[in-house]
Amino acid sequence: MGGTEKDSKAGGGDDSAQQKPLDTGMATNLKVGIADFPLYDGSVSPEDFLAQCSRLAGLGNISSDSLASIVAARCSGRALTVVNELEQRLGRLSMAQLSTSLTSHFSAQPTAAQAAMQLSRLVKGRMKAREFGQQVRLLIRRACPEFFTKDGTVKSTSVPAYNAALFRHLLVGLSAEEATLISRLKANTFEEAIEELCASPGLHQCHSRHWALPTLRQVALWSLPVVSNVMRALT
């Protein structure tokens, strides 16, 4: 019997050993919800977003298929447009397809000259006002890096020029009806114009023949010193 008791006590060591997988696997028991995952709008490269989503999926023991659905659901703005178009063509997406698509669309950063050219051709079309505004912000950031400090904030000395550039490029990308609305309502800043456009959703259905004339866009671009210098370098 004594030997049996010793054997039984020895089994206590086995119980301790059995607890080790619980210690190493605790992360898989964490509750991770969709809201814990970051949002991604395409304004920066997607590598950090995808890496963080993978980390959270590991903590929550989330399968690859479920992770793909979560990543798609956490996309907004330009990134959501890319995901929607891909889903229309391919159906339900895998994580590999999402990663490849987001990386190919948003990893490559254009030069200042390329961004200035994109900015000169940017029109709102059927985009939602906030999405269009987001693209204006993004392209000005890339076309005019001298407006910003190393940490990405607008320099105090560049605030007036930056705000003027935002408003000017927003206006020249609007349809004639939208530009008239902004003028009539006396919206004098970028933020005010975006709010007025959001409050007038019926204007989103304007046809392409109403977009602002190229001559107006060219005048606006050349009146912005930083962008005009970039554009002259291209000619």
Containing H/E element for 88? helix 77-90
pTM of the model: 0.46
Among candidate residues 65, 82, 106, the one where a domain is terminated: 106
Total count of domains within the chain: 2
Low-confidence ranges of the chain (pLDDT < 70): 1-29, 108-110, 201-235
Assigned domain for 13 exists? no
Assigned domain for 65 exists? yes
Domain encompassing residue 138: 112-234
Same domain, 90 and 192: no
For 177, counting Cβ atoms within 10 Å of its Cβ (0-12 exposed, 13-18 middle, 19+ buried), the class is middle
Same domain, 217 and 163: yes
Assigned domain for 22 exists? no
Q: What pLDDT does residue 62 have?
A: 93
Same domain, 66 and 158: no
Same domain, 141 and 221: yes
Report residue 68 CA to chain centroid gap: 17
Same domain, 192 and 211: yes
Assigned domain for 3 exists? no
Q: What pLDDT does residue 111 have?
A: 78
DSSP state of 154: B
Among candidate residues 106, 125, 155, the one where a domain is terminated: 106
Both tokens assigned to 135: 């693209």
Same domain, 192 and 149: yes
Q: What is the CA radius of gyration of the chain?
A: 26
Q: What pLDDT does residue 59 have?
A: 92
Q: Say how far apart CA 86 and CA 81 lie, in whole Å.
A: 9
Same domain, 101 and 119: no
